[in-house]
């Protein structure tokens, strides 16, 4: 058999781990055309000169990256200092995406746990409920969320009617509104992988921990969380990455104050005011950050496994 896998450690090692290279050909072709090629294109564009009505001129330059990191004054003739505008937007976006990931984890883990511990027959019904919002377009869902939480929307009307608050909350155009939007958009991406991990979790491990004098919290911390960690990590990546590039929630729910990376990039490719090389450069920087984080994680994993 072609493509014998290297001797592995742990379960699932052996010759069945690798597939023959010929079988993998369509996969590589697919990845090449739809993943590598676009990224290469973007990388190339980020080093070209912008055209005024959108598009690029084939004239290599570092102008896009220069514009991102350095401030050379209004006419570009002053000594360069660091440009904080875009770094600030990036930083705020990372912070927002991280926070959204945390909220999704805090709510998503118990939800996934709940579903995975239901009767086998009712589990798929619960999973279906979690994914129902996905049958509706993200734009429509985000707009609907705005209607729900705006000052004259049902949420505020209800709270005013019950007397919990005596003025509207003023949620729209705040960071909190963006958080609500991101949370609502990406929660299932957290629930599903954690569900898959918990479903495979062997509850005899919890019994063994209790048998060895571990209380409920110790068992959660020392046994359950480490064992289902791959699911948690997958969920966090699946929420963090799209949150970082999101533009619908920040645009519609956050307004100008909560401008995020996604909106910044989107603007560069829209209409005559756009700047394709700059948009491509910002995308490349975003991509580097994401890859960097993933790489760091992979490193720590490799070190952790003895």
The footprint of other proteins (CB under 8 A) covers 9-11, 202, 204-205, 207-215, 218, 222-223, 226-227, 229, 306
Stretch (H or E) spanning 57: strand 56-57
- Would you say 5 or 165 has its CB closer to other proteins? 5
Least spacing, CB of residue 219 vs other proteins, in Å: 8
| Closest C-alpha to 301, from 203, 204, 234, 218 | 234
Alpha-carbon distances of 9 from 223, 297, 300, rounded to whole Å: 21, 20, 18
- Would you say 161 or 213 has its CB closer to other proteins? 213
| Closest C-alpha to 17, from 29, 33, 6, 26 | 6
What is the chain's length?
306
- Would you say 230 or 242 has its CB closer to other proteins? 230
Phi-psi category of residue 105: left, alpha or beta, with phi > 0 → left and psi -120 to 50 → alpha: alpha
Rg (CA), the chain: 24
Least spacing, CB of residue 306 vs other proteins, in Å: 6
Least spacing, CB of residue 226 vs other proteins, in Å: 5
Structure tokens belonging to residue 152? 């004259």
Least spacing, CB of residue 3 vs other proteins, in Å: 23
- Would you say 9 or 162 has its CB closer to other proteins? 9
- Are 48 and 264 in contact by the 8 Å Cβ rule? The answer is no
Least spacing, CB of residue 202 vs other proteins, in Å: 7
How many angstroms separate the CA atoms of 6 and 261, rounded?
41
- Would you say 10 or 163 has its CB closer to other proteins? 10
Least spacing, CB of residue 47 vs other proteins, in Å: 45
Least spacing, CB of residue 53 vs other proteins, in Å: 57
- Would you say 10 or 79 has its CB closer to other proteins? 10
Give the three-class secondary structure for 9: coil
Name 231's Cβ contacts closer than 8 Å, sequence gap at least 6: 112, 193, 194, 195, 196, 197, 198
- Would you say 53 or 121 has its CB closer to other proteins? 121
């Amino acid at each position: 058999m072609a493509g014998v896998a290297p001797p592995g450690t742990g379960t699932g090692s052996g010759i069945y781990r690798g597939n023959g290279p010929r079988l993998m050909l369509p996969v590589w072709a697919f990845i090449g055309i739809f993943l590598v090629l676009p990224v290469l294109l973007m990388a190339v564009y980020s080093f070209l000169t912008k055209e005024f009505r959108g598009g690029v001129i084939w004239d290599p330059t570092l102008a896009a990256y220069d514009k991102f990191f350095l401030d050379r004054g209004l006419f570009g003739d002053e000594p360069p200092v660091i440009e904080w505008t875009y770094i600030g937007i990036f930083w705020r976006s990372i912070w927002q995406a991280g926070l959204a990931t945390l909220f999704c984890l805090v709510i998503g883990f118990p939800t996934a746990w709940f579903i995975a511990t239901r009767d086998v027959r009712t589990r798929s019904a619960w999973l279906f409920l979690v994914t129902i919002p996905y049958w509706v377009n993200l734009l429509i869902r985000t707009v609907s969320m705005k209607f729900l939480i705006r000052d004259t929307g049902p949420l505020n009307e209800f709270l005013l009617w019950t007397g919990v608050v005596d003025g509207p909350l003023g949620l729209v155009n705040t960071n909190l509104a963006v958080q609500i939007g991101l949370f609502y958009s990406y929660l299932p991406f957290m629930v599903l992988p954690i569900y898959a991990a918990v479903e495979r979790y062997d509850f005899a491990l919890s019994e063994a921990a209790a048998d060895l004098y571990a209380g409920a919290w110790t068992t959660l911390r020392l046994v359950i969380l480490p064992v289902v960690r791959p699911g948690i990590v997958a969920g966090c990546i699946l929420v963090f990455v799209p949150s970082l590039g999101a533009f619908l929630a920040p645009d519609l729910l956050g307004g100008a104050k909560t401008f995020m990376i996604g909106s910044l990039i989107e603007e560069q490719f829209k209409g005559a005011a756009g700047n394709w090389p700059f948009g491509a450069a910002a995308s490349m920087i975003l991509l580097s950050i994401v890859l960097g984080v993933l790489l760091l994680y992979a490193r720590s994993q490799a070190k952790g496994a003895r």
